[in-house]
Amino acid sequence: MGRVHPCCSEEKKVRKGLWSPEEDERLASHIARFGVSCWSSIPELAGLQRCGKSCRLRWMNYLRPDLKRGRFSQHEEDLIISLHKALGNSWSQIAARLPGRSDNEIKNFWNARLRKKLRQKEASTSSTAVSKEPAARRNQPNANAEVDDRSKPAPSVFTPFVPDHVAAAAGASGASSCDDSSAAGSFFADPAAATCAAVHLADGAADDRNAAAAESGVTPTPSLTTSTSACTDDARGSCDDGFFRAMVDDPSFLFGDFYLDGDAGHHGQIMSFWEGHAFS
């Protein structure tokens, strides 16, 4: 078997299992006061009978103050699915693009979803062959609707959505390119990324607004909080893969900031585009 971590060796008598509130408090207050220099030394310094790896995991997945927690929004769910298509099981990379979510959280979410999908697939294939599914299960409304939806082929042509106010703002300011690199970070520093399309770098609140609005079916009033950039040529056309590839390639780009209007049509269009591109 694999090599056992020295910090996890039996002789150290480390505790395992769920963390108690007292342990959480000790770890959190220690990191708050001294920060993290060496995980392996933290258990001793914080007075914990845990191995360093366990402390790190607890901090990264649960105690970190910037964690969002709570259920995934539809928006986040769509992003995860799209990112998984692009990046595979690189949970840490996916998590890096979803602010406030840990890789473990995303992985768990995905595995739960995947398990469900596989079950549903098995059920549907066996039911088409034998059609002996229990009536109760058959009567569940749209049991497979979600899976079917996501397996739809992407449209052959993607027209990037540019909100009118964004296009107007770009036109009014005379912006002819994605030139606000300071706000967009390295994403716009990538020449391939600066080709076209509009990105609204919204704050987290706008993200939540959009998610909430998408659920309620109400189109939110968009607010420009940082910067906008518009297509160089046509506000509603001719966007190439470079733009989106750059998003995938650049871990500093937060997908939670990608502008999504409450309009389900546009939302779906963007996601369909994502799902139709392999980013190999």
Between CA 221 and CA 160 the distance in angstroms is 20
| Backbone dihedral angles phi then psi of residue 167, each to the nearest 5 degrees | -60, -40
Contact positions vs DNA (CB under 7 A): 1-8, 15-19, 38-40, 50, 52-54, 56-58, 61-62, 71, 89-93, 103-105, 107-109, 111-113, 115-116, 119, 136-137
In the bound state with DNA, the residue whose beta carbon lies nearer, of 53 and 245, is 53
What's the min distance (Å) between Cβ of 93 and DNA?
6
What's the min distance (Å) between Cβ of 225 and DNA?
29
In the bound state with DNA, the residue whose beta carbon lies nearer, of 107 and 277, is 107
In the bound state with DNA, the residue whose beta carbon lies nearer, of 38 and 157, is 38
In the bound state with DNA, the residue whose beta carbon lies nearer, of 90 and 173, is 90
Radius of gyration of the chain (CA): 23
Task: Please give the torsion angle defined by the CA atoms of residues 106, 109, 111 and 115, in that order, rounded to the nearest 10 degrees.
Answer: -160
Contact (CB, 8 A) for 28 and 65: no
Between CA 203 and CA 226 the distance in angstroms is 8
What's the min distance (Å) between Cβ of 97 and DNA?
12
Between CA 154 and CA 95 the distance in angstroms is 24
What's the min distance (Å) between Cβ of 177 and DNA?
33
Closest C-alpha among 99, 75, 72 to residue 262: 75
What's the min distance (Å) between Cβ of 103 and DNA?
5
In the bound state with DNA, the residue whose beta carbon lies nearer, of 67 and 189, is 67
